[in-house]
Every structure is written in C-alpha cells, then in structure tokens.
Amino acid sequence: MLPPSDYLTKIKPFSYLDEEQIDELIKNMHVSLYKTGKTVFKKGKVLDRIYLVRDGELGLFDGDDLVEVIGNNEFTGLSSAIKKEKTEFEGRAIADTICFEFRAKDIEEMMERNQEFAEFIEKILRMRFSEIFHFEEDELMALFSKKVSDVIFRDPVTCDPESTLRDVVRLMKENGVGSVIITNRKGNPVGIITHTDVIDALASDVPLLSRAESVMSSPVIAVDLSSSLLDAYIKFIESAVNHLAVARDGRLAGVITIKDLMKSFEPRSSLLNYPKIVKKIEDPEQLEDLIRDVLSSMKNMLRSGLNYETISSIYIPVFDQILRQILKKTANESATVAIIGDFGRRELILPPVYRLLIIDGEVKNGNFSECYTTVHASSFSEEKKLSDLVELADSRYISGSGARYVSFKEEIGRIVEGKKDEVLSLMKKELREKITAENCDVKVEKIARLWTVYNGEFTSKTTSERVRSMSLDPEVISLTSEIYSTIKLIRLREAIFGNRSKTDAIILKKSVGVIRTFRNAVREEMKTW
C-alpha cells in the first residue's frame, strides 16, 4: 500500500477503487506546492493532469474575476484532462496550496477497468460546468438514495380481519410495535391499525371486542422494499401517515415507520415533522412560521448538490400538504380546485405562491392570500386565448371532485386538440422571440409544453420530462434538460440567499447559448411537421 492511499480511499471517486488500483494512480502522481498567487494552469490549455486540492485553496479565474474556489479534497481540471477540452478558467493558488496531481491517462485507464469509478466521472463530465463541480461527499444524496430495505428490520405483525381490537392491542404489546397490519386469507394487506387508531377507537367508546376490520384504516399505503428513502419520504408526507407497509413483489414484507426514517435522517428529521405541524395550522401566523422553517431547511438542500428535480420532489409534497390544509379553510363545499403553473408541473419556485384554477365553487382569499392566486374556469370558454388554454396542460388536481376535474381537463384537451394549427403558430411565434439570461428557463418551459401539446399530450409533466420526450438530437436533449435544471436551481438560490453568485452569473450567461441551440434544433425539426 502506497503512502497517501488511506487518504484517497475516503474521497470520491477514489473510494470506488481497490487498493491496488489506487496504488497505480499514486505511482505516477505529482504532489505540488503552489505559493499564493502562483498559476497552476492557464486558461485555454488542454491539461494532462487533474488536480485534487489536498491542502489550501485554488481559485478559478476568468481574467481577474474569481469565479470559484476549489477547496480541500475537491477536484478541478477533469473536463479538460479527460475530454481534452481547453480550460475555461485559469487556476491560481489563492493560498499556499498543495495539489495531488493525477495523470489523465491513468484516470482514463482506471475508468476502463472500474465501472463505478467510470460512471461517477462520466456523470460529472456530462455536467456542463464540470470544471467547477465540487466532489464533496454528499451525505444528503446518499441518504435519500438509500433503500427502504436498508432501514427496515422488522417483520410485519399481522392479524386477520376477524380478530378483535383487544387481540390487536395484545399483539402490539407482545411485539412492541406501533402498528398491526390486517391481512386477508391470501396474506394480502387489507388495512392497518396503528397506535393512534387504537387510542381514537377507545376514546370514542368502541368496544374492545369489535372486529379489527371495523377499526382499521384502509387501503394500506405501501412502498416497495426496493424504493429509495426519498420515495418513502414523499409517501409519508403525501399521505400524512406514520406507518407504511413495505411490499416485496406485491407481498407484505414489513413495516416502515416515520421513526425508522427519522433515525436515518438525524439531524435532518425536522423535514418529517411537517405533516404533523401542517395539520395544526389555524392562522396565518402559524403558517408563516412553518413556511419560514421549510425555507430555511431548504438552504442546506440547495448547498448539498441535490438536483432541481429531487429538491422539487422533496418540497412539493410539503407545500401541497400546506395548500390542502389552507383550502380546507378557504374553499367552500362545492369547490373543485386544480393547481396550474410551475407547481402544477411539480416544479418548485420561490416564493411558494400557487396558481389555482377554480373549476367549481368558490375559494376565498381570506387570511391566506399570499399563498396563492386564483383564476376561474368560467373565464376559460372557447373564446379564451389559446395560449391560456395550452397552459392548462400543466394543471393537476388538488381538492374537490376528482371526476369533475378530469372531465374539465378532458374538455380543454379536446378544444386544444381541435386547434392544432393555432398551436403550431403559437410555437412559431415563440421560437422567434429573443432568449435572454432572464427568460431562458421560461422559454424552455413554453417550447416543451407547446411541443408535447402539439403532439397530442395534455397531461402535467415536469419540463425536464417533456424535454426528454422530444424527438431531437439526444445530445441537445440531455444538455438542455441539465441546463434547465441548473437554471431553476440558480433561481431558487437567488430567492433563498438573496443574491446571485459569480459562478451562477457565468452559468446563466453560458446557458443562453445552450437554450438557443435547443431552440434551433426545435426549429429544424418543425420543418418536417
């Protein structure tokens, strides 16, 4: 074992290598000390080594502008060294800095021999600005990609529907569990009785000899054993329950509780408390507190390197839950409400202001007016501008009559389908408009929506999903969807931290070019329509 291998094994992607492979990299390594101010590599050069900062700080400069700082245990130079591209920035030591420098040739060879290592590096190389990608081990990412099977260790405690409430209570006590799953003869779960259900039942004088099936809640909400903790998390939030059944190949395999999840999430478990808090919201002040809490938890997420889609899927359920709670107070009995706009596509924007489409009934603005804006479906007659109708492709149901919502959406879908020519001219108009750093994400959203609507699809999807379904050059698609996500992250960061970092400004500037390429590709493709 060669000297610094203990150190390297703790750093991604070297952690994927075995001892022998690490030794091979070390064999040809250089270790350099750069005095403050010394140039490590110039701009516009193809590097033959990648740089791991062992100690110190390396600045990436665009002229005299410091774009990014590469700190301890972080890399730079990878995209230049591996993709043989010219460096976009100059690397200069901004403190006395020691770098471990690995030969590009050795890294390439290791990529051929070690698949995990290669995948990690390729993932980074696919990112547009891989030079300023931070290789930090991402705890949160690791946490969310853990599997449910890593967390559950309890066999489910079950009983049949004919068992009594007393049997259930005894089963809970004997097994020390907080929930019992009711299964039918085939062993399929038909309901669940949790600790809370028992207390509720006893408090409302349900006799102990009542049958389990009269007390249980059903259907049982389940996750698959192979699901990620992120999936489980979303289910917990969406359904506001404390227990989920775990299924393997459709059969009951165990139970995962919110406590199990919390243990894995420490110290970030506060995320899981939201459903409980949401239920208790009574007045706007409590709501404000909660939203402030949620937003501050987002700070860490935004720094963690999670991508936009993941962050959206973590937070949209929380905000949806809050919205449902508010609607309970502000919507009247006959109201059917859908979400449109960014939140309709399940894309997070800040501040979290929903756009609501009131299909039937009424929604007061009342004390919660800052949480949403409303538009009435009655204004969406055939005379309504087609561009507004197309936007309804983003709508999704939130409360009231599901059937009413579906029939409304189908109706709009039919109207739009009948005006394909107009959709096409909307698209042409869209493609003529100027793309700037400020509007480039919205442009992608509009183009992707018009494209899918023109192709006969009128369901709510994220912009990235829509882009990925477009029949364009795969390279253009992957770049566009990546850049789109990055821009959306920048927007979130701006909203949360109140300013735009230099890196973000540069990325935005360069993004415009990518989005223009995307637009041109769409133009070309449309000639064949």
Kindly state whether residue 34 participates in binding another protein, applying the rule CB under 8 A. yes
Closest to another protein by CB, 95 or 526: 95
Kindly state whether residue 15 participates in binding another protein, applying the rule CB under 8 A. no
**Least distance to another protein, CB of residue 135, Å:** 18
List helix spans (H) across 257-373: 258-265, 270-279, 284-304, 308-330, 341-344
Rounded to 10 deg, the angle between the 229-239 and 270-279 helix axes is: 10
CA distances from 26 to 4, 99, 124, 135, 207 (A): 8, 13, 22, 19, 72
Closest to another protein by CB, 22 or 241: 22
Per CB under 8 A, the segment of 26-34, 199-207, 388-396, 501-509 that binds another protein is 26-34
Closest to another protein by CB, 97 or 330: 97
d(CA 450, CA 457): 10
Kindly state whether residue 20 participates in binding another protein, applying the rule CB under 8 A. no
Kindly state whether residue 459 participates in binding another protein, applying the rule CB under 8 A. no
Phi, psi of 75, deg, nearest 5: -105, 160
Maximum distance among all alpha carbons in the chain? Answer: 81
Closest to another protein by CB, 72 or 273: 72
Residues 46-105 that bind another protein (CB under 8 A): 55, 96, 98
Per CB under 8 A, the segment of 23-31, 62-70, 267-275, 284-292 that binds another protein is 23-31
CB atoms within 10 A of CB 292: 10
Kindly state whether residue 35 participates in binding another protein, applying the rule CB under 8 A. yes
Closest-CA residue to 306 (of 185, 141, 502): 141
List, in order, residues 6 or more apart from 384 with CB less than 8 Å away. Answer: none
Tell me the residue length of the chain.
529
Closest to another protein by CB, 29 or 182: 29
**Least distance to another protein, CB of residue 33, Å:** 5
Q: Residue 350 region, left (φ>0) first, then alpha (ψ -120 to 50), else beta?
A: beta
Kindly state whether residue 32 participates in binding another protein, applying the rule CB under 8 A. yes
CA distances from 73 to 15, 148, 516 (A): 13, 31, 36
d(CA 441, CA 148): 35
Kindly state whether residue 18 participates in binding another protein, applying the rule CB under 8 A. no
Per CB under 8 A, the segment of 1-9, 143-151, 421-429, 505-513 that binds another protein is 1-9
Site for another protein (CB under 8 A): which residue of 18, 33, 259, 502? 33
Kindly state whether residue 30 participates in binding another protein, applying the rule CB under 8 A. yes
Kindly state whether residue 7 participates in binding another protein, applying the rule CB under 8 A. yes
Two tokens, residue 257: 């509780």
d(CA 412, CA 419): 11
d(CA 468, CA 478): 7
Closest to another protein by CB, 98 or 140: 98
**Least distance to another protein, CB of residue 41, Å:** 14
List, in order, residues 6 or more apart from 477 with CB less than 8 Å away. Answer: 467, 468, 470
Closest-CA residue to 440 (of 497, 371, 516): 516
Kindly state whether residue 26 participates in binding another protein, applying the rule CB under 8 A. yes
Kindly state whether residue 27 participates in binding another protein, applying the rule CB under 8 A. yes
Closest to another protein by CB, 101 or 445: 101
Beta strands in 195-270 (DSSP E): 222-224, 243-248, 251-257
Kindly state whether residue 411 participates in binding another protein, applying the rule CB under 8 A. no
Closest to another protein by CB, 6 or 155: 6
Kindly state whether residue 284 participates in binding another protein, applying the rule CB under 8 A. no
Two tokens, residue 327: 């609607």
**Least distance to another protein, CB of residue 10, Å:** 8
Kindly state whether residue 109 participates in binding another protein, applying the rule CB under 8 A. no
What single-letter amino acid sits at 478?
S
β-sheet bridge partners, residue 373: 355
Q: Residue 87 region, left (φ>0) first, then alpha (ψ -120 to 50), else beta?
A: beta
Size of the site for another protein (CB under 8 A): 20
**Least distance to another protein, CB of residue 215, Å:** 58
Closest to another protein by CB, 25 or 253: 25
Site for another protein (CB under 8 A): which residue of 13, 16, 21, 29? 29
Pairing of strands 372-376, 354-360: parallel
Per CB under 8 A, the segment of 33-41, 457-465, 487-495, 515-523 that binds another protein is 33-41
Closest to another protein by CB, 90 or 106: 106
Closest to another protein by CB, 103 or 170: 103
Per CB under 8 A, residues contacting another protein are: 1-7, 26-35, 55, 96, 98
